């Protein structure tokens, strides 16, 4: 099992996908528990997952969504982290959250990167995960 911050969304997707094989009675018990613990289905975490995938077109989609989030970001420094509503009928992990019903914000792990290095995953044959570092804490926290 991979414990990277980029793997949480994939692990949650596997839980959802495997729970679809349960009986309806068990789904009534399991689905609310999964819904309360969907932090890794948040769009910021899905974007981090997209950065780490092997498929280059997914990384390209990540970069486009990050650039769009940077353009539309407000001047508010703190944002409320809201647990997203899950789409249990999704066919792939990227669709387990309703993208167009949520405000897409940039993941904090990529905020400190300038725009040009953010495009580097497009030119690489392998996913860019080693460059994900936690930004230094500031005194105003």
DSSP 86: B
Q: Which range has the top average pLDDT, 20-24, 89-93, 98-102, 107-111?
A: 20-24
What is the per-residue pLDDT for 107?
76
The pTM for the full model equals 0.68
CB atoms within 10 A of CB 79: 12
Query: Mind listing the pLDDT tens digit for each residue in 22-64?
Result: 999 999 999 999 998 888 888 788 877 777 777 777 777 777 8
How far is it, in rounded angstroms, from Cα 16 to Cα 13? Answer: 5
In 10-50 the beta strands, taken as DSSP E runs, fall at: none
Token readout for 99 is 């993208």
Check whether 112 has a pLDDT greater than 90: no
């Amino acid at each position: 099992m991979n414990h990277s911050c980029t793997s949480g969304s994939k692990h949650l997707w596997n839980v959802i996908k495997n729970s679809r094989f349960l009986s309806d009675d068990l789904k009534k018990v399991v689905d609310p528990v999964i819904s309360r613990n969907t932090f890794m289905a948040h769009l910021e975490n899905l974007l981090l997952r997209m950065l780490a995938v092997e498929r280059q077109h997914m990384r390209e989609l990540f970069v486009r969504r990050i650039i769009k989030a940077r353009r539309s970001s407000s001047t508010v420094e703190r944002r409320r982290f809201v647990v997203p509503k899950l789409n249990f009928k999704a066919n792939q992990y990227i669709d387990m959250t309703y993208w167009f019903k949520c405000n897409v914000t940039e993941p904090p792990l990529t905020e400190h990167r300038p725009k040009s290095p953010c495009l580097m995953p497009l030119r690489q044959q392998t996913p860019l995960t080693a460059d994900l570092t936690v930004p230094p804490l500031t005194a105003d926290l």
